[in-house]
Each structure stands twice: as structure tokens, then as C-alpha cells.
Amino acid sequence: MFKNHLKIAWRTIKNEKLFTFIKIGGLAIGIAACVLIALFIQDELSYDQHIVEKDNVFRVYSEGVYDGDKERVTWFQAPFAKALKTDFPEIEKSGRYLTSELFGAGNKQLRIEGEIQNYFESNFIFADQELLELFEIPFVEGKIENALSEPATIVISQDKADKYFPNGNAVGNTLILDNDTNKPYKITGVMKNTSAKSHFDYDFIITMEGRDFYPGENENWRATNYYTYIKINDQTNVQQLEQKLLSVVEKYLIPIEQENGNADDIKYLKSLQYKLQPVHEIHLRSRGIQDGLKHSDIRFTWLFAAIAGFILILACINFINLSTAKSANRAKEVGLRKTIGAFRHNLVSQFLVESILFSLGSFVIGIGLAWLLLPMFNSVASKSLFIPWDQWWFILIMVASSLFIGFLAGLYPAYYLSSFKPIQVLKGSLSIGSKSGKLRSGLVIFQFTTSIVLIISTLVIHQQMDFILNKELGYSKDQVLVVKGTSTLGDEVENFKDQLLQLPEVKHVTISEYLPIEGTKRNTNQFWEDGKRETTIGGQIWRVDHDYLKTLGIKLKEGRDFSLDFASDSIENVIINQTLVTKLGLKDPIGKIITNGRPKTVIGVVEDFHLNNLKEDITPLVMAVGNSQGIISVKLSSAQIDSALSSIAAVWQTKVPNQSFRYTFLDQDFALMHEDVQRIGKIFNAFAFLAILVACLGLFALSAFMVEQRKKEISIRVVLGASFRSIYKLLTINFLKLIFVAVLISIPIAWYMMSRWLEDFAYRMSIGWELFVEGAIIALLIAIFTISYQSIGAALIKPLKSLRTE
């Protein structure tokens, strides 16, 4: 019986090549999309899953209301971690780490003691010994138990150990950072390379043992610079512990603010709550938490899963549509087989075998297609995914899925086709199976509704990206060269700047590690107008030089710029932005005294400019002249970029011949800040294309079958004088009605989805009606193009050929 089913299925495939191709090809595309997205989701969900006791390891963050806004932050005071372990017996371990560039984390020049060549490296942090134990980091050299327990020690990754010590035995060697020979660091451990993903991913971890970044830091309950993690015992109730943590506020923080008499800060502290976030949720569930880390969003993970699922559903819909549409072709077969004694379950099993055979073929092609597309997908999604051919569970899942999808997609057609009554079929009353189609119409509407939603979403994402990249930022990012690693110039930094200014290709030069792009220095402070301590505003204080505003094209709104003619500019004068003026309620701000404990006179106010990416509001800013020489920014003549690069590199080599010349451009760094948005746009593009392709395949097949079924009708109409236009209209109007319905359904869905997505941006485009019109027109044109091939061919049919057999 099964062998007979296979023979009939094979004959059907050979006799209906076009429909077989569309069935198998459409389903293969859906399967390829699902495989790619499944690999993507598996990777996203795998972060920090390798930690054996992950359910007991938490990141602490605080949640409070300041100036009417809810803030969730992850930075805590230096003594916070120690107080948690001391005051709460439920906490077995607590550890901190520090990523602030202000204290020397981030990027550094590195060389091995005894050598002269400096190399640039990033991913430096400072951490406690207990933090290594919390994250259960495996070592290939040294022991985790005491790797950071002594001062002046450092742990490095296996990749870096292989790079600098290819013969092994990195432990025991000494590294010199930023040419500071007074602070050598001894390597005490090498972290093992693993395939496990973690939000805690650094190449160089420097101990904080015996190190104060400023005097009295370890007793200072005001400055917040540290990420803090804890490990609790198995018996601890997390919600109860969160409530107990509030005693930290009462015991340590409020008394300090009561001494200062700051009503706003006391109000904020009384609203404060400490929350414990499971470590394995940090990568995907940190939306709204200020942590400065690069992570994903669980919403987009499931959104992509939904898109892949929809594509697979669209492919299954094609299968059902084509199977039921071809009912007339199989009707006589069903009638004859029932007449000679076939039972309905025999017919059902026959059609299910055919469906499963199609599905198996689709899975083979789909997995192969996913394998071919994977390098491109990795490039777009910034991943290193691979198909786990060697894993038994992968093959098992694929086979089981192919059987399930084949069964599911073939179930309705099998019962529909097997329900035909022999007497009706053999009389010819089911000769036009294509005209019964409420289900098919509904499925076509569903297909194009999904496709149009994806088209509109893609248009919105691209327009938002254009809005971001072309928005007036308040500073000039074009033709600004950013030279990095300049801290190793030491006392020569000013001389280097002077030599650059002598180059004809250079307009302006500024020395400052504080730039309006992510990855540069930040320094958060509290400011208030002198004598008005009750009104305190949080903001940034940036250390810049006298040429900062000119180099970046930042506009003064009132007052003056820094000048070498005023000695006080280097001591007590500051320039602030308009946001700080507004927040502090300053009238006539020039000459006013603001303070963060140290009085400063306002000499200028700049127009607001964006300090970070456009997902964030412009924050209050104070600029003061100060030493911050790790980055030099150079404003170039627009027509002389290549010449300027060569000239600047030549000057660099005369100053630091043992260090490579590293640079980027400010506009490239700005675009890189919004790389995640561009990446989402590219992924949406890819899956929107696939969804439309699958939908069009189905529409093409349905139109082809409809033309096939109505050939004689069309021939008679042509003989009777029907025009090309009337025939074309006859064959397309019903399909276009379905697409129009899909447009009406898709518009509110797309508007809701994209409105929610745009909420993540402080500065965003408005969704105008023209976007929906554009999306609808694109969908209609695609549908018309798909249908027209068959419709035009039918309208140009030669009646004699079609009616010859009549």
C-alpha cells in the first residue's frame, strides 16, 4: 500500500511540475528562514547559560524617581558590594567591576616588559577577585581562586595570550600599560576560550585589590561608578531580599544627604528600590536599564521568530491553496478509486503521503539553502552562527519537523479531496474546483497582509535610520579625523597639536577624550546654582581644551568661548549647554556661579547638541578646560583627506615610532552608534523579501491554475469579440480585491507595531500617511506584476487552439 502511495505521488509530481516546484520551493524558503532564525534565537538565549549556579547569581540595579522620571541604573558606590555581603547573610559572594574610561578602563596601549613596541588593545576593565568566581570563568593557565587577590595583577584572555605569548606560559610575565613603567602588571591567569556567550566579555581584567582611584574612595557613599553582582544561597527568597536591601538606603545614603540638606536628593533616595536581575536575563531583558552595555532586546528576538513563523505559515498556505485549487484535476481520480472500492481513509493516507513527501523534499532543499545563506546572514546579524551537522538532536528535530509540517499542511487537502462523492464527480459537477474559494481567498488575504506589514515596517525603519544619520546634531561630524591612543604622547601632546595645525590640510585641532559618540569618556556629576542646593541637576562634566568648540562646530548661543588670554579659563570658568540653563532655571546665565562642590563661573552657553545616540535625550552638560589627552580630533579640509592622512601619519611617526597610527572619522563613529538599527533594517529587508516571494509564488500558481481552468471560457469570449482589456480585467479584478482588503487590514497593524518600536527613540520621525500609501502601492504593483504574466498570456490566447477538442 505504501509503495503504491509513493508511485502515485511520484506520478503527480511529474505531471504537475510547475505546481510541484512552487509547493516545494515555497516551503523550502520558509524552512530556510526558520532554520536561520532558530539559530539566531538559540544564540541570543544562550547568554550566561554556562554558569552552573546562574539561578543564584544576580546583577543589582536601582530604581527610583528623579525629577518626575523613573530611572533604573546599575552604577553603585565603592563600598556598596562589601556592605551587601557584610549586612545580609543570604549573600554568599559580592563583586564589582569598573568600565569607566575616566579611571583608565576601556582602551590602552600595551607592551611586554622589556620590549619597546606598543600595541593598541581594548576591552580593559577593573574587577574584584570574587567577580571571577561569581561568573565561574574557566582558566587554562593560573588558578581562578587567587588570580586577582593581589595588587598589580591582571588576567588576560586566551586569544590575547596566544597573540603575545605564542609559545605559552603567559602567567608570570609583566605588561606595561600606556607606557607607565611605574605601574607594571603581573599576569596571573589566562581565561579559556569557550563557545559560551556572556554579557561579561573582556580580554583584560585588572585587579582592584589595593587600588583607590581617588583618596577615600572605599568609604565614599556618594560617587557611583561600579557594577555590582551577588551570589545568594539556595534558600533565599529573592523578593524578600530585595525588600531587605532597602535598609542600605536608610543606613548609609540618607544620613549623608540629610547632612547636606538636599531635599531633592532625599526625596529620590526615599523612592529608591534595589532590584536583583538574574545574570542570564541581562543580555535580553535590560530594556530601560542604564548600564552602558551592548545587549539585545527580547522583543526583537521573538519578533524575528514570529516573522520566520509567518513565512513558514505562508508557505503552508500555498500548499493548501494549490492542493484545494487543483481539486478538479484529482476529482475523477477520487471518484474512480471510490467506485472500485477504495475507502476514505485510503485516500486520506494517499494525500498525506504526498504531502509528507513534498515536505521532506522541501526540508532537504531548505536546510541546504540555509547553509548557503548563513555567511550572508552572519554578516547582516553580526553573528558567528553555524549549522550543527554533528549534533544528533538537529537531525532528529529536522526529520520530526518535516513529518509534522507535511502532515499538518496536507491534513485539510486530504480530507477535502477525499470527501468528493463518486456520482457527482463522474457526472462532472466538480469540474471547476478553482471557483470554490472562500478559504483560498482568506489565505491570500492573510499572506498579503503579512507581506504589507513587513513592507511598511521596512520603510519606517529605513526612514528612521535616514532621520538619525541626517538629523541636525548641533555639531559637525563631517571631515573630523579622530586620532586615538594619544595619551602615550605624554608631554609632547601639545607640540603634536601645534605641528598638526601647521599642516595646510588641517583647519582646527582639539585634545579631549570627551566626544559626542559612545565609547569616549563620560563623567556624571550633580550641579546646582550657588546658594540653591535644594535644586540639584544631574549632568555631564567634560574636560576639553580651548579649541573644542571650533573643531566640532558647536555654536555659542551667548557669552564667549574659552581663550588662552584668560588664565581663569583653565581654573574656574565653564561653558554650559542650553539644557542645563533650562533645568536650573538660570536667567541671564553669563556670570552666574554653578557648583558641584567646586564653584564655577559660567562664561558661555552653547546651543544643545547630541551627546550620545538619538535614543537618548540631550542631557545637561558642563565643559571645563582640563587634561584629557587620550584622543585628538582634527578638522580637515574636505578636499584633502588622503593628503592630510599621510601628513598626520608622518608627524605621528616622528613622535611615537613604536606605536601604530590609529584613527577613525567622527561621522563613521556616529553611524556605528546606530549599527543595531541598521542591522534590524537589513534583517527586516531580507525577511520582507522572503515573505513577499513566498506570497507571490502562491499568487502566481493560483493565477496560472485559474487561467488553465478558464481557457475555453476565455476562448469563447474572444471569439465573441471580447477585448484584451476586458479579458485582462476579468482575470485580475478578483485578486486585486483581495489585495485591497489585505491593505486595509495591514495598515493599523503596521502602524501599531512601528509606533511601539519608535518609542525607543527620544528623537524619531513621525509616521505619515504617505508611508502607508507607498507600502500599499508596492504591494499592489507586486501583485499586479505577479498576476499579469498569466493574465496577459490568457488574453492573447488563440481560440482555435483551445477549442480544437470541443
Question: 193-229: per-residue pLDDT in tens?
Answer: 888 888 888 999 999 988 877 778 888 888 888 999 9
Alpha-carbon span 803 to 546, nearest angstrom: 90
Would 348 be classed as within a structural domain?
Answer: yes
Alpha helix segments (H runs only) across 46-175? 80-87, 129-134, 158-164
**Same domain, yes or no, for 420 and 362?**
yes
Alpha-carbon span 413 to 331, nearest angstrom: 12
Pairing status of strand 506-511 against strand 556-559? unpaired
**Same domain, yes or no, for 164 and 252?**
yes
Highest mean pLDDT among 12-21, 88-97, 427-436: 88-97
Whether residue 15 is predicted with pLDDT greater than 80 in this model: the reply is no
pLDDT at 802: 56
Alpha-carbon span 140 to 168, nearest angstrom: 10
Whether residue 241 is predicted with pLDDT greater than 90 in this model: the reply is yes
The least confident of 10-24, 634-648, 748-762, 792-806 is 792-806
Which DSSP string do the residues of 587-623 spell out, in sequence order?
A: SS-TT-EEESSSEEEEEEEEPP--SS-TTSPPPPEEE
Residue ranges with strand state E in 512-647: 524-529, 537-544, 556-559, 573-577, 593-595, 599-606, 621-625, 631-636
Would 712 be classed as within a structural domain?
Answer: no
| pLDDT above 70: percentage of residues in the chain | 86
| pLDDT above 90: percentage of residues in the chain | 28
pLDDT band of 14, cuts 50, 70, 90: low
Instruction: Name the more confident of 530 and 557.
Output: 557
pLDDT at 381: 80
pLDDT band of 33, cuts 50, 70, 90: confident
Which DSSP string do the residues of 411-447 spell out, in sequence order?
A: HHHHHHHTT--HHHHHHTTTS-GGG--HHHHHHHHHH
**Same domain, yes or no, for 619 and 601?**
yes
**Same domain, yes or no, for 104 and 24?**
no
Of 253, 281, 309, the residue at which a domain comes to its end is: 281
The SS3 of residue 68 is coil
Question: 499-518: per-residue pLDDT in tens?
Answer: 999 998 999 999 998 999 88
Whether residue 410 is predicted with pLDDT greater than 80 in this model: the reply is no
Would 680 be classed as within a structural domain?
Answer: no
**Same domain, yes or no, for 271 and 323?**
no
Would 717 be classed as within a structural domain?
Answer: no
pLDDT at 8: 61
**Cell numbers placing 805:** 477538442
Place of cell 611617526: 653
Query: Range of 302's domain?
Result: 1-47+297-436
**Same domain, yes or no, for 402 and 258?**
no
Nearest 5°: phi and psi at 710?
Answer: -110, 15
Would 264 be classed as within a structural domain?
Answer: yes
**Same domain, yes or no, for 126 and 206?**
yes
Cα–Cα distance list, 548 to 508, 628, 632 (Å): 9, 12, 10
Which DSSP string do the residues of 235-294 spell out, in sequence order?
A: T--HHHHHHHTHHHIIIIIHHHHHHHT-HHHHHHHHH-EEEEEEGGGTTTS-TT-B----
Q: What is the mean pLDDT of residues 284-300?
A: 83
pLDDT at 432: 45
Alpha-carbon span 604 to 574, nearest angstrom: 7
Would 795 be classed as within a structural domain?
Answer: no
Would 640 be classed as within a structural domain?
Answer: yes
Half-sphere exposure in the Cβ direction for 640 (13 Å, CA): 14
Q: What is the mean pLDDT of residues 573-577?
A: 93
Of 281, 315, 336, the residue at which a domain comes to its end is: 281
Q: What is the mean pLDDT of residues 727-754?
A: 84
Provide the number of structural domains found in the chain.
3
Whether residue 434 is predicted with pLDDT greater than 50 in this model: the reply is no
Give the chain's mean pLDDT: 83
Query: 78: closest CA among 224, 275, 209, 266?
Result: 224
**Same domain, yes or no, for 124 and 270?**
yes
Instruction: Name the more confident of 682 and 260.
Output: 682
Whether residue 93 is predicted with pLDDT greater than 90 in this model: the reply is yes
**Same domain, yes or no, for 419 and 361?**
yes
The least confident of 152-166, 167-181, 339-353, 648-662 is 339-353
Alpha-carbon span 292 to 295, nearest angstrom: 9
pLDDT at 453: 87
Length of the chain: 806
Whether residue 19 is predicted with pLDDT greater than 60 in this model: the reply is yes
The least confident of 166-180, 322-336, 450-464 is 322-336
Question: Is residue 615 a contact partner of residue 644, using CB atoms and an 8 Å limit?
Answer: no
**Same domain, yes or no, for 157 and 111?**
yes
Q: What is the mean pLDDT of residues 590-616?
A: 88
pLDDT at 436: 47
pTM for this prediction: 0.79
Q: What is the mean pLDDT of residues 610-619?
A: 84
pLDDT at 379: 84
Q: What is the CA angle 566-568-571, rounded to 5?
A: 140
Question: Is residue 95 a contact partner of residue 131, using CB atoms and an 8 Å limit?
Answer: yes
pLDDT at 152: 92
**Same domain, yes or no, for 223 and 309?**
no
**Same domain, yes or no, for 490 and 414?**
no
**For the chain, how many helices (H) and strands (E)?**
25, 23
Of 248, 281, 314, the residue at which a domain comes to its end is: 281
